[in-house]
C-alpha cells in the first residue's frame, strides 16, 4: 500500500487533498474558500545530485513564494533555511506552510510531503 501525500485544509472551510507521495499537495484558503491540488516536481533525469538538489529547491522556492526563478539560480542558506522550516509569509500576509517531497539539504526523496497555504488572521 502506497502512502499518499495528504494536505488538510484549515477550518473553515476544512477538507483535504490526497496526492501521490512524490507530489506536493497544497491547500490554500483565499477569501474563505479552499483551493487545493497536486503538483509534480520537475524532471531531474540525467542530473548530478547537486543539480537535482538545486533544481528541486529552485522549483520549490518559485512555487512557495510565487517569485520566478531559473532552475540554476543559486540557492542560499536563507532560502534553504526557509524551505527546511516549512513556513513562508508572502507579501499579502498569507502564511504558507509546506513540507516538500524531498530533503532540502540532499535533494533526496522523503516519504510524504504536504504544502498548505492559509491566510493570516
Average pLDDT over residues 6-31: 77
Would the pLDDT of 32 be above 70? Answer: yes
Give the confidence band of 2 by pLDDT, cuts at 50, 70, 90.
low
Cell matching residue 104: 532540502
Would the pLDDT of 74 be above 90? Answer: yes
Cell matching residue 98: 509546506
* Residue spans per domain, the chain: 1-40, 42-101
Amino acid at each position: 500500500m502506497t502512502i499518499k501525500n495528504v494536505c488538510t485544509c484549515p477550518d473553515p472551510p476544512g477538507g483535504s487533498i490526497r496526492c501521490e507521495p512524490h507530489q506536493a499537495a497544497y491547500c490554500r484558503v483565499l477569501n474563505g474558500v479552499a483551493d487545493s491540488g497536486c503538483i509534480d516536481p520537475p524532471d531531474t533525469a540525467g542530473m548530478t545530485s547537486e543539480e537535482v538538489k538545486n533544481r528541486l529547491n529552485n522549483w520549490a522556492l518559485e512555487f512557495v513564494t510565487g517569485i520566478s526563478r531559473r532552475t540554476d539560480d543559486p540557492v542560499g542558506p536563507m532560502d534553504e533555511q526557509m524551505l527546511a522550516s516549512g513556513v513562508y509569509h508572502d507579501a499579502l500576509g498569507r502564511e504558507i506552510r509546506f513540507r516538500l517531497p524531498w530533503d532540502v539539504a540532499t535533494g533526496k526523496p522523503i516519504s510524504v510531503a504536504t504544502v498548505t497555504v492559509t491566510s493570516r488572521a
